[in-house]
Amino acid sequence: MIGLIMLVGQVILGGITRLTGSGLSITKWDVITGVVPPLNEEDWIQEFELYKQTPQFHKINSTFNLQEFKFIYFWEYFHRLWVRALGFIFLIPFLIFVVTKRIDNYLMKRLGLVVLLTILTASAGWIMVKSGLEDRPWVNAYKLTVHFVLAVLVIAAMVRTVADVYVYKSLKKVKSKRIVLWMLQLVFIQLIVAGVISGMKAGLYFPSWPDMNGELVPSVLLNLNNWTWENMINYDSYLFAPALVQFTHRTLAYIILVGILFMFFKLQNHIERSSKKWLNLTVILVVVQVALGILTVLNVKGQIPLFYGVSHQLVGLLFFMSLLFLHYSLRNKRV
């Protein structure tokens, strides 16, 4: 449970790091020595000089002083420190339990998957950071999405483990439970789109609702000549890709909201009390999530508002987790 809570915290710290533009402040990845931050003025100046060599400094933050650099350095350092702490708290006990045979093969496989996915997520994170240290002042949107989706899969694997340990299951068969699986697939697709939006900073281009800068469907999407792979790659120089992912994200949000409400009325009288609490929670969270998404868009003033942006990410993650717990609570046996 501590591992699950820390994983959620790690994703939220990643969101804060992204929204504060802090992700490229540390230009190297030292697993051991990187634990120790700059301890004196000389160390700080050395780190600042390394940052001055990055495209982000030259193209965006060239007016930064040392104090401003320390602010963005803090969030990236804290983000990396948290994942190191997660490894220490989770990985070491896991290895001890494996060696001393305190956990069975079933649980070992479940937790082993969590460890493997965590390592892949950390590796993807560094590949993502490197993409922003070469030519462009921001990380590659698609590499950021891979990093984010892997983090979501780590959390999904941990939720499955928790559900198995606490033997989440239903004593009776629920005929309509397949709808939960459909909603899970839709929400997972939505999370992928959310990652792309984040990487492209697509939320900045259409700070209005329910329209998108006065249009229900952005006109750039109605021109078939714009539907090229080149426009998807060069997303920071042309409006097409941000418009497409923002429109897709909004449309999926409406579909998911309606789908969750339909799921609620379909299941509420046919499931046990233990499952009903997860069903109720998913409905509450999806409504809050949609509201936060709208508030985030309406409060864009040249940048994504930190409070609304992070809250939107947190509630979205909690919504996905509650849907997973609902899914596992409706199964008839642990498999």
Give me the mean pLDDT over the 270-275 stretch. Answer: 87
Q: Among 44-58, 165-179, 211-225, 252-266, where is mean pLDDT lowest?
A: 165-179
Report whether pLDDT(216) > 90.
yes
Q: What is the pLDDT of residue 186?
A: 96
More confident residue, 249 or 98: 249
Give me the mean pLDDT over the 181-198 stretch. Answer: 95
DSSP SS3 for 215? strand
> Which band of pLDDT confidence, cut at 50, 70 and 90, is reported for residue 218?
very high
Q: What is the pLDDT of residue 136?
A: 72
Nearest to 204 by CA among 294, 127, 271, 302: 302
Q: What is the pLDDT of residue 333?
A: 67
- What tens digit of pLDDT does each residue of 120-167 get? 988 888 888 887 777 777 788 899 999 999 999 999 999 999 988 887
Q: What is the pLDDT of residue 179?
A: 92
pTM of the model: 0.90
- What tens digit of pLDDT does each residue of 288-306 get? 999 999 999 999 988 889 9
Contact between residue 331 and residue 168 where contact means Cβ atoms under 8 Å apart? yes
Give me the mean pLDDT over the 239-249 stretch. Answer: 94
Distance CA 279, CA 135 (A): 47
Cβ neighbours around 312 below 10 Å, total: 25
Report whether pLDDT(32) > 80.
no
Report whether pLDDT(78) > 80.
yes
Contact between residue 15 and residue 313 where contact means Cβ atoms under 8 Å apart? yes
